[in-house]
Amino acid sequence: MENAIRDFIRISKYAGMRNDLAQAGGGNTSVKLDDRVMLVKSSGFQLADVSENSGYSKIDYRLVVEYFQKNVREAGEAAQGTEVENAFTEETGKKLLQEAQMEGGRASIETFLHAITGKYTLHSHPALVNILTARVGGMDTLHTMFPEAVLVPYRKPGAALAEAYYKQYRRQQAQGADGSVIFLANHGLVVSGDSADQVIGYTEEILQKIAGYLQFSYEACPNATKLWNAFSEIPELQDKIVYLSENRFLACDGVASAVLEEGTWNQAFCPDCVVYGSKKPLFLSDDFCAEDITAFIEKNGVPAMVCFRGHFYILAESVKKAQEIENVMSFAAQVQEANLSHGMHFLDEGQQDELLNWDAEKFRRQL
């Protein structure tokens, strides 16, 4: 069970730290611990903030499955031996969700959908997928590209969407669909599998294929996951997420590109830049190894920014913290770029260490 919860958190952070997969509080994840209990991300939580002790609800998903099996029927089918259709209304869904909730915060409105998918499930809102799900004829394109996927027409998230998915799944199951990949019109992607690696792998394969079809450059986002996987092996970085910066001042081909190099960048000209940005960024080559990271940490401390393959990535405890660091580093880039033809006063290493070890600043960073 501990491994299942750990993998559930891993899938949540994988999607939650990437703006191309989940925006704001969007997207959700789940894991089925046995034939009755399911954990699902709670409503109002960001995926990247899910932890062992918070961010999810415990659900008796068996109640949802049994309800669907008994009551959700195709048009013309008799429910429970009667001639009356039993539509899955919002009121019915609300009552069922209250009965099914066992512990935790308010369960996501997508709980119904998660109840009838696989052991591990990730529902994300990838930009690449939504380009096609929102395009005229796009769902037909997805059907051609992924013939075994379930395609669900647009319905309002919650009860209506779960009912539409369940009916569509029943139809396509007879034609060979296994339900592991679902495209939701005007909405997003659902991927489920027997393991976290399977879910993450399926999701990446789908995005890579769509990126190829659309002829989109798609490297920076999955590189965030590549870095995250590498950093998770380093004790000092195990609890960090990796957030791709899309700030124009931190773009290597953007406004301040002249200072975004290992020998040029120096953010240590004011206290906030040191406190939020650490001493200096970590620049990694294409063939970096764990020793490159640990050697940097031993000399400079844990970095707040990493430069890899022409992009800056922020290391932080949460998306909110990453965005705070990004904001300060954008300021640092602007100041340095404006002073390229001028000398600058920088804090020496002793002054930097004094700031980084100052209790007041340690407290502020934790807020």
32: exposed, middle or buried (C-beta count within 10 Å: 0-12, 13-18, 19+)?
buried
Nearest to 353 by CA among 279, 294, 303, 281: 279
pTM of the model: 0.88
CA dihedral of residues 99, 114, 158, 86 (deg, nearest 10): -70
Residues 6+ apart with CB under 8 A from 193: 118, 119, 120, 180, 199, 202
Q: What's 232's DSSP letter?
A: T
Using one digit for the tens of pLDDT, what is the confidence trace for 116-139? 899 999 999 999 999 999 999 999
- Band of the pLDDT at 27, cuts 50, 70, 90? very high
Q: Specify the pLDDT at position 244.
A: 97
Least confident of 4-18, 85-99, 274-288: 85-99
- d(CA 39, CA 340) in angstroms, rounded, equals 53
- d(CA 108, CA 190) in angstroms, rounded, equals 15
The percent of residues in the chain predicted with pLDDT above 90, rounded, is 70
Q: Specify the pLDDT at position 122.
A: 97
